[in-house]
Amino acid sequence: MAAGPAVGIFIKNTEVMHNNNALIANDGTATLRIGSSLITGNSAVALTQNGGTLTSYKDNQIDRNSNNSTDSAVCAQLGRS
């Protein structure tokens, strides 16, 4: 199966709240960029699957998600305050 077109999303100055998964990049053509945003009250902070890419400007506020302590590497990458 051929890969689909590349998909890039930039999230800035946004609240990502009360979701099962806050951020998901799924597939090698998917790139998700986030900056200056609040990520709180989610079951999982971030998930990359099948080669998806998640990048950050490391200036996000991440708190009170179910997996903050178990997913500390992702929280550090995104920028925790």
Tell me, what's the pLDDT at 8? 93
Tell me, what's the pLDDT at 18? 96
| Span 23-70, pLDDT tens digits | 999 999 999 999 999 999 999 888 888 999 888 888 999 888 887 765
Q: What's the start-to-end Cα distance of the chain, in Å?
A: 42
